[in-house]
Amino acid sequence: MGAIHHGECPHCGKQNVQFSGDACTPSKAQPTLAGRRTWNLHMTCNSCWGPIALLVETDAGMPYSGDARESVVIPELGADPYFEIRTLAMYPEPTVPTAPPDTPDEIAEPFIEAQDNLKRNKRETCEMLCRKVLDIATRRLKPDINNFNARINALREDGTITPAMADWAHIVRMDGNGSTHSEEKTTPERARELVGFTEMFLIYAFALPAMVEARRYAK
C-alpha cells in the first residue's frame, strides 16, 4: 500500500494532516550507533499536495515498498518507535511564528496569531489581526490619543515613523476594517504584504529602540 505520516504541513499549515509516501531510498547517512539503517521517504500532503521528505531509521529493512499489502505508519518527529521506525528529521520543517524582539506581549500575541492564520489561508482574519496589532501598538506609543487614524498621523508628525510607514499603517488600518464589512476576498499576496509591513512596524517601533538603548548602556 505505502507509508502514512500525520503531522503539520509546512506548506499549508494544516494540523494533523495525512501525508502519503510515494518513494523510499537508502540514505547516505551512516548507520546509527545501534546499527540501524537510515532511509529517505518522499511524501505528499493530502491537503495541498506539497512535498516533504522524512529521514527515518529502522533495523527492519526498508520502511515500506509500493507493493506492500498494508500501509506503514511513520511516527512524528521525536515520537517513540512504531513498528521499529523512528523519524529523525523532516524537510522542510514547519515554521514557528514569532514576533520581533522586545515587542510587548499584548502586541506579540495577536501578531503571532496573524501569521498563523496566514499559514492556514485564513486571509481575512489575518488582515483583521494585523489591524489589531497596529491599533494596540500605536495606542501604546500614543496613549493620550484615542483615535487610531490620529495616532498614526501623530507618530508620523513627531518622526517616530516615516511618512511611508504612516501610509502603510493607514492601508493596514483601512484594509483590516474592510475585511470586517466587505465580502471581497483578500489575495494571498496582499495578506503577506500586510503581515510583512506589520512586522517591520514592530521592528521599527520596539526592536530598534531597544537595541539602541542596550548599546547606549553597553558603552
Per-residue pLDDT of 137-171, as tens digits, reads: 999 999 999 999 999 999 999 999 999 999 999 99
Domain positions in the chain are 2-91, 105-218
Task: Please report how the helices 123-141 and 188-202 are oriented relative to each other, as an axis angle in degrees rounded to 10.
Answer: 20
For residues 140 and 146, is the Cβ–Cβ distance under 8 A?
no
- Reported as type and span, the H/E element at residue 123 is helix 123-141
- What is the value of pTM for the model shown? 0.74
More confident residue, 103 or 15: 103
- End-to-end CA gap in the chain: 65
More confident site: 79 or 208: 208
- Strand, helix or coil for residue 74: strand
Determine the longest span between alpha carbons in the chain, in angstroms: 71
Residues 98-107: tens digit of each pLDDT: 999 999 999 9
Q: Which CATH class is domain 105-218?
A: mainly alpha
